């Protein structure tokens, strides 16, 4: 891909990631939906601390991750990109800039006034820098079986339920 061909794809990566509330990130395991902030050409995440989102396995310094961005209006896959992972050191210049952006987007923080100190002590700030990207849609569905959970699915409706519901409507 030439530089001229890559420019629209890179612009799509930046604009789609910037506007999306969630991105799907895969380290070494299954992909997880994570909230993020687009800052200085990278997606910045906070996680792995108490009260924060768990980050996927494999998001370590020097690793790569697969990022999938969904369309904000339709929810379908829009673009996918491979990211170089960088873990920011607490109180470094890059960390301070990233935390400044993240604090503005963090909803319902239980300790908003001490959020920075808590993140430095107990969480990780991770930068995902686009390395390669693709606007091609996959040939398969990419569907995966759900993770094990204690949640149950709804049971079938009782046979008499439609009759009972129709009877109520008739009385009104």
Tell me the torsion sign for CA atoms 56, 61, 67, 72. positive
The residue ranges of DSSP E strands in 40-171, in sequence order, are: 42-47, 64-70, 77-88, 124-134
3-139 has which fold? Pnp Oxidase; Chain A (2.30.110)
- Residues with Cβ within 8 Å of residue 88, at least 6 apart in sequence: 94, 95, 98, 125, 126, 127
- Residues with Cβ within 8 Å of residue 130, at least 6 apart in sequence: 10, 13, 14, 41, 42, 67, 81, 82, 83
Q: pLDDT of the chain along its 172 residues, tens only? A: 666 667 777 888 888 888 888 999 998 888 899 999 999 999 999 998 888 899 998 899 999 999 999 887 877 788 888 999 999 999 999 999 999 998 888 877 778 788 889 999 999 999 999 988 776 777 777 777 877 887 777 777 778 877 778 776 555 5
Q: What DSSP state is assigned to residue 67?
A: E
Q: Over the stretch 1-30, which tens digit does the pLDDT of each residue have? A: 666 667 777 888 888 888 888 999 998 888
CB 69 within 8 A of CB 16: yes
CA-CA distance, 12 to 16, in Å (whole number)? Answer: 6
Going across the sheet that includes 77-88, the strands are 32-35, 22-26, 64-70, 77-88, 124-134, 42-47, 37-39
Q: Tell how many helices (H) and how many strands (E) occur in the chain.
A: 4, 7
Q: What DSSP state is assigned to residue 3?
A: H
Tokens of 124: 């990780």
Domain spans, the chain = 3-139
């Amino acid at each position: 891909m030439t530089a001229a061909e890559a420019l629209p794809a890179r612009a799509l990566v930046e604009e789609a990631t910037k506007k999306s509330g969630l991105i799907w990130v895969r380290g070494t395991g299954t992909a997880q939906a994570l909230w993020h902030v687009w800052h200085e050409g990278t997606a910045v995440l906070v996680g792995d601390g108490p009260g924060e989102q768990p980050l996927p396995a494999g998001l370590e310094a020097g690793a790569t991750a697969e990022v999938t961005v969904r369309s904000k209006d339709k929810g379908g896959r829009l673009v996918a990109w491979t990211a170089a992972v960088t873990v920011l050191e607490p109180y470094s210049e890059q960390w301070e800039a990233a935390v400044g952006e993240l604090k503005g987007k963090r909803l319902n923080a239980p300790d908003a006034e001490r959020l920075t100190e808590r993140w430095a002590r107990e969480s990780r700030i991770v930068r995902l820098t686009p390395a390669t990207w693709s606007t091609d849609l996959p040939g398969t569905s990419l569907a995966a079986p759900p993770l094990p959970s204690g949640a149950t699915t709804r049971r079938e409706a009782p046979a008499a339920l439609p009759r009972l519901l129709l009877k109520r409507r008739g009385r009104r």
